Amino acid sequence: MLTGRRILLGVSGGVAAFKAAYLARRLVERGAEVRAIMTRSAREFIGAQTLAAITGSPPSEDLFGADSVSPHTDLAGWSDLLVIAPATAATMARLANGLSDDLLSATALAFVGPVVVAPAMHTEMWEQPATQRNLALLKADGVHTVGPVSGALAGGDEGPGRMSEPEEIVDAIEIVLGGGALSGTRVLVSAGGTREPIDPVRYLGNRSSGKMGTAVAEEAAARGAEVTLVTTAELPVSDAVAVVVVETADEMADAVWNRTGEVDVAVLAAAVADFKPQDAAGSKLRRASGPPDVKLVPTPDILAGVASQDDRPFLVGFAAEAGPAEQAVGKAAAKGVDFLVANDVTLPDAGFGTDTNRVTIIRPTGDTDEWPVMSKRQVAARLWDLIQGERASS
């Protein structure tokens, strides 16, 4: 989807600079023409020849001494989009305050198109008020940000500040540039496990991490869809996804039902509790009072509620089973979905919280199609391929 697009890749000086090579490769693979700018600090982490070999042209490094009399304006005028990855705290400060003391910051100041920034730094630097102020300024100026995420950092540390993976950055670039296969399509996705309060401290819930639903939302956005994610999970998502945070099944039902009349596709991947306490205690239940008598009542059937709506959207449901996915065959017809995605959460590669999934597609007719183990993002991509094909043929 980036065929013919001209992408300018800015690389600043952080240990995550090695990922810039992978990012350049992914951009080239998707058809983009890529040029690179390296800061002086970036040269301490990655060689110019590496980027030259991947992009087909040597990276620009300095404001002075180049063949061009005005390299920053030439590069700015050539580009359709500027992506800076990694963007260090210092680089973000330069961008936010309009400084132009090196080639990258001068080019950014001269550039009038979309800018995507992928921050990368230690947790302490990321959480500093100064960095957060600069981030707010950049966003107010219309800069698109990707990440950072939590994970391993330089020096053996771990925490928020790790640069997003190149694939996620490419997806964000495609969203910003638009024109994807789902452009103009309105999508609603639900994710995460609901929490049903027993008292102000305790709740009934499940182990759903929300990773699968979030991957579905991100993949739809990467394909150009207008996406709303109704979720209980606190997972990072791109700026292109509108997030509605809920906690209980009732809250999720309200959020979903109030929006499904305005969307073209609904993918309900949340693990919604089937039951909730009839009367949640207003104060903390005490051990000294003995085991409480908790009466359970059904929660709203969100999937069935969408299916029963007049002129409902194309509808995909998820079914988490504790056993073979074939146990969900009857649900596909009973729920009134276009198809159901079932998985056995007792499997080590398909359970709650895993990064992979093993799903079975179940049609209302009872026909099934078992998919191999894939990453959840790969499952999401294949799922959207299927949805697009089904909608095109209907």
Active site residues: 206
| Total residues belonging to the chain | 394
Give 152's Cβ-side CA count (13 Å radius).
4
Q: CA 33: distance to chain centroid?
A: 25
User: If DSSP codes are grouped into helix, strand and coil, which group holds residue 378?
Assistant: helix
User: If DSSP codes are grouped into helix, strand and coil, which group holds residue 380?
Assistant: helix
Burial of 103 per CB tally in 10 Å (0-12, 13-18, 19+): buried
- Neighbouring CB atoms inside 10 A of 393's CB total 6
Residue found by looking up tokens 């979309």 in the block: 114
Residue type, 259: R
CA dist 336 and 171 (Å) reads: 32
- Neighbouring CB atoms inside 10 A of 140's CB total 9
CA dist 311 and 336 (Å) reads: 13
- Neighbouring CB atoms inside 10 A of 365's CB total 10
Cβ(36)–Cβ(47) below 8 Å? no
Q: Which of 100, 96, 101 is nearest to 117 (CA)?
A: 96
DSSP 60: B
Q: Which of 379, 90, 82, 49 is nearest to 216 (CA)?
A: 379
Give 269's Cβ-side CA count (13 Å radius).
31
Structure tokens at 358: 């093993």
DSSP 343: E
User: If DSSP codes are grouped into helix, strand and coil, which group holds residue 254?
Assistant: helix
CA dist 175 and 189 (Å) reads: 17
CA dist 41 and 120 (Å) reads: 14
